[in-house]
Structure 1
Amino acid sequence: MRIFVWLARAFVFFALFAFALNNQQESAVRWFFGYEWRAPMVIVVLTAFAGGCVFGVLAMVPSWWKHRRVARRHAPLDMPAKPQAAPQAAAPLSDFGPEHPPRDGL
């Protein structure tokens, strides 16, 4: 499975690298008041993509905080603060008392 993850990462890297090589021509972004920014097309596109990702994450932060508050409010009080390091093994069938007889076939 690890090899597939690394192959996917390599594919994404080479696809972005090819994208960057194919978009080296200079472009201009014109802002207000006559300000102009000149950069290679790949930088402009990747900057716009990164800005959109940052804006999307920042737009979701208030919702995440609200859901955390609701989850904390509805969490049971006897719930431990940290999960246990390792789950405990189930008791063997011979340890069951008469009130919990073992089931047939197990």
Structure 2
Amino acid sequence: MRYLFWLIKFLLFVVLFGFAMHNAEPVALNFFLGYVWQAPLALLLLIAFVLGAVFGILAVLGKVVRLRRELVALRKEVRTRTTPEVVTADAALQPPRDAV
């Protein structure tokens, strides 16, 4: 299985490398105020992909931090409980209420 993954990775690399070599002609990227940057198309696509991934991670970062804080608070609450919930034998033997 490991060799299959290496083969898939190698084939993906070859395809992307071939794409980059076929699109090596410089293209002009026009900014405001007449600023122009010329770079290969494959490089510009790679930069756009990386910037998109970074902005996506930054967009999710606030939610992740909020959920981690909530998780820490819930773990602290579980540790500070002094009275453990005891399940009686009768309650453990009862069938689920939605079962027929």
Q: TM-score, normalised by structure 2?
A: 0.72
Amino acid at match of 1:6: W
Please give the residue correspondences for 1:1-106 in structure 2 after superposition, counting only pairs within 5 Å. Answer: 1-75=1-75, 76-77=78-79
User: Hey, what's the Cα distance between the residues in 2 that align with 1:67 and 1:55?
Assistant: 19
What is the CA-CA distance between 1:11 and the residue it aligns to?
A: 1.8
User: Hey, what's the Cα distance between the residues in 1 that align with 2:40 and 2:10?
Assistant: 24
User: Hey, what's the Cα distance between the residues in 2 that align with 1:26 and 1:57?
Assistant: 30
Q: Deviations over 1:35-78 (max 9, x none)?
A: 11000111111111111111111111111101101111112317
Amino acid at match of 2:24: Q
Question: Aligned Cα RMSD in Å?
Answer: 1.3
Percentage identity across paired residues of the two chains: 36
Instruction: Flag the structure with higher helix content.
Output: 2
Unaligned runs of 5+ in 1: 79-106
Q: Match for residue 98 of structure 1? A: none
What is the CA-CA distance between 1:25 and the residue it aligns to?
A: 1.2
Unaligned runs of 5+ in 2: 81-100
User: Hey, what's the Cα distance between the residues in 2 that align with 1:50 and 1:12?
Assistant: 18
